[in-house]
Amino acid sequence: MIHSFILHEKNKLITDVSFDELKKMLKDKDKLIWVDLEQATAEENEILSTVFDFHPLAIEDCTNINHHPKIDNFEDYLFLVMHAVNFNSREEELSTLELNVFFGKNYVVTYHARPIRSVIQTKERCLKNPVPIMGKGSDFLVYTILDALADNFIPTLNALDHRIDEVEDEIFSDSSNVLNKIIDIRNDIINLRKVIRPQRNIISQLTRGTLPFIHKSNVIYFRDIYDLLHRISEQSDGYRDMISGVLDTHLSLTSNRMNQIVKTLTIVATIMMPLMLITGIYGMNFHYMPETNARWGYFLVLGVMVVISISLGFYMKKKKWF
């Protein structure tokens, strides 16, 4: 699916034009063109080569997802690979969505396999009033998309914070599913950090003023994104430490519960040992055992066993073993 937005020099917005019209409009440097490809078919992908004449390697990076965040300078345009995050609160599952961005002097092309919230938000803003976004150049349009992409990390962080608080309470309830939840949260934090750190470095390159198509007046906006990603990165580091602490606490509690079980079994075994010794002795099949013929021998042995058990119990209690 392809959506195109063309802003004329008279601040008039045109949407969804044909490939041929796009090719003609590209020659007009006074127009700003934004083409968004979402779940594009093979035929729609041809626009990347036939209309914009992008490098085959960049096109291959678009069509083959799961690349690490990066930025490439092709002289006539810049190519960025960024990642958005999507958190499914119902299933408590975090996933990343790849966003590929081409932008030159008078055009921006975004390519993604699934809907991305930041792109949708920017489209809606352009349809309502395109001038504040598209009227400031292609770099400001890219800034708007990336800024919304960075802002959308915050709800995910808030969800992680809530999940960590919940699992902190559950570790004291002896729930059998706590360890799986802790591991899931830790994996989500690791995946989030893998996305945030490289993207922060990419935005840092955009703030240096050495790359083409970034106007000096707009560098400060990219610095704002960098600051936000830096705060998010630090916050994710804090969550990593928190979940590591939760995991250590859970393992300590589990070990303590296991020690209590072993302690209880040891006490029972210690009390039973002399009783088993007595029953073992009188269980031997000798013909001449004086106590076996005693009238009250059975009850006497039972009494001795009871006294021994009670004595051991009082002794352990005095030593505060239980």
pLDDT of residue 146: 93
% of the chain exceeding 70 in pLDDT: 96
The band of 109, judged by pLDDT with boundaries at 50, 70 and 90, is: very high
pLDDT of residue 225: 92
More confident call, 171 vs 109 = 109
Its pTM stands at: 0.77
pLDDT of residue 89: 66
- Whether the per-residue pLDDT at 59 is higher than 80: the answer is yes
- Whether the per-residue pLDDT at 322 is higher than 90: the answer is no
Whose tokens are 């198509």? That residue is 213
pLDDT of residue 90: 67
d(CA 180, CA 250): 11
- Whether the per-residue pLDDT at 279 is higher than 70: the answer is yes
More confident call, 10 vs 168 = 168
pLDDT of residue 24: 80
pLDDT of residue 266: 84
- Whether the per-residue pLDDT at 110 is higher than 90: the answer is yes
Joined tokens for residue 301? 């042995």
Range from 207-221, 232-246, 252-266, 284-298 carrying the lowest mean pLDDT: 284-298
d(CA 20, CA 26): 10
| Average pLDDT, integer, range 250-277 | 83
Helix (H) or strand (E) holding 247: helix 219-281
- Whether the per-residue pLDDT at 88 is higher than 80: the answer is no
pLDDT of residue 259: 83
pLDDT of residue 4: 82
Task: Write the DSSP string, 23-43.
Answer: HHHHT-TTSEEEEEEES--HH
- Whether the per-residue pLDDT at 131 is higher than 90: the answer is no
pLDDT of residue 308: 86
Helix (H) or strand (E) holding 141: helix 138-151
pLDDT of residue 66: 66
Q: Phi and psi dihedrals of 199, rounded to 5? A: -70, -35
**What are the tens digits of pLDDT across the range 165-201?**
888 888 877 667 888 888 888 888 888 888 888 899 8
d(CA 212, CA 302): 96
d(CA 213, CA 76): 9
More confident call, 291 vs 84 = 84
- Whether the per-residue pLDDT at 79 is higher than 90: the answer is yes
**Alpha-carbon 30 to chain mean position:** 42
The band of 282, judged by pLDDT with boundaries at 50, 70 and 90, is: confident
